[in-house]
Amino acid sequence: MTEYVVVIPARYASTRLPGKPLRLIGDKPMLQHAWERASESRAAEVVIATDDERIAETGEAFGAMVCMTGPQHRSGTERIAEVADLCDWGDDVIVVNLQGDEPAMPATLLDECADLLSDPRADIATLASPIAGQADFENPNVVKVVCDNEGFALYFSRSPIPYPRREAPDKPARSAALHHHGLYAYRCGVLRTLVASTPSPLEQFEQLEQLRALSLGLRIRVAVPSRRPGRGVDTEGDLDAAARELGL
């Protein structure tokens, strides 16, 4: 079993749902649900990373360890890298990045993601499930990933991939792709390499940070999780859906 830590990056600003981490699901802020899921995992440590005092105060109130970071970060990955430096974690320490808007992510999936890095060929690990249907395949908010025969990512896209040039009725193109979940595990050395590099053209076009890793030649191990995680939260409707998934 792989030893690891979890960092939950959380920011207050959100275009579609301002104050998102502190929005209530049931009687708890969404961030607390995410922290509780992480705390149920095998992780040796769970840290909330934020630059907002409101989020920090809320996290400390429900017992979380909170690390204050700078306001300059453009992504959760950059925020986590600062936490790694502030905590003086060595390059071999494995960090799982759990987004604060994933309140229904089962704890066992964090363990599964971290365990993928037991493969020495893997620089980064992530999870992806079969695509539920054609609507998801065509939805730009559902990120698709295609992999090689050994389970390493070839490409991620918001577009339907692969393109069905010749599609058989009994084997639609979507069966060759997976629905990517935004859960990552990486060693701190790889994390530092990522944040020290500039965004690649592919990343800028698709607005998908994982394409920077592929452009750098890093290998991303992808596996299908033992159960499909609940949806992330981006809208008011997602809050209601998350509450139902959590049985609230």
Residue 244, amino acid: R
Alpha-carbon distance of 175 to 61, in angstroms, equals: 45
Number of domains in the chain: 1
Digits of tens for pLDDT over the chain (248 positions)? 789 999 999 988 776 778 889 999 989 999 999 999 999 999 999 999 999 999 999 999 999 999 999 888 888 899 999 999 999 999 999 999 999 889 999 999 999 999 999 999 999 999 999 999 999 999 998 999 999 999 999 999 999 999 888 766 678 888 999 999 989 999 999 999 999 999 999 999 999 999 999 999 999 999 999 999 987 887 888 888 888 888 87
Alpha-carbon distance of 32 to 51, in angstroms, equals: 17
Range of the domain at 102: 5-245
The pLDDT, as a whole number, for residue 17 is 79
- Reference 139, options 155, 161, 159; nearest CA is 159
The pLDDT, as a whole number, for residue 70 is 86
CATH code of the domain in which 170 resides: 3.90.550.10
| Cα angle value 106/109/112 (rounded, 5°) | 160
DSSP state of 103: T
CB 65 within 8 Å of CB 45 = yes
The pLDDT, as a whole number, for residue 155 is 98
Those residues with Cβ within 8 angstroms of residue 167's Cβ, 6 or more apart along the chain or in another chain: 173
The pLDDT, as a whole number, for residue 169 is 67
The pLDDT, as a whole number, for residue 19 is 87
DSSP of 116-166: GGGSTT-SEEEEEEE---HHHHH-TTS-EEEE-TTSBEEEEESS-SS--SS
The pLDDT, as a whole number, for residue 47 is 97
Alpha-carbon distance of 221 to 148, in angstroms, equals: 10
The pLDDT, as a whole number, for residue 14 is 73
The pLDDT, as a whole number, for residue 37 is 95
CB 125 within 8 Å of CB 113 = yes
Report how far apart, in Å, the C-alpha atoms of 234 and of each of 15, 42, 204 are.
9, 27, 21
Alpha-carbon distance of 102 to 116, in angstroms, equals: 20
The pLDDT, as a whole number, for residue 74 is 84
For the chain, the straight-line distance linking the first and the last C-alpha, in angstroms and rounded, comes to 32
CB 195 within 8 Å of CB 77 = yes
CB 221 within 8 Å of CB 213 = no
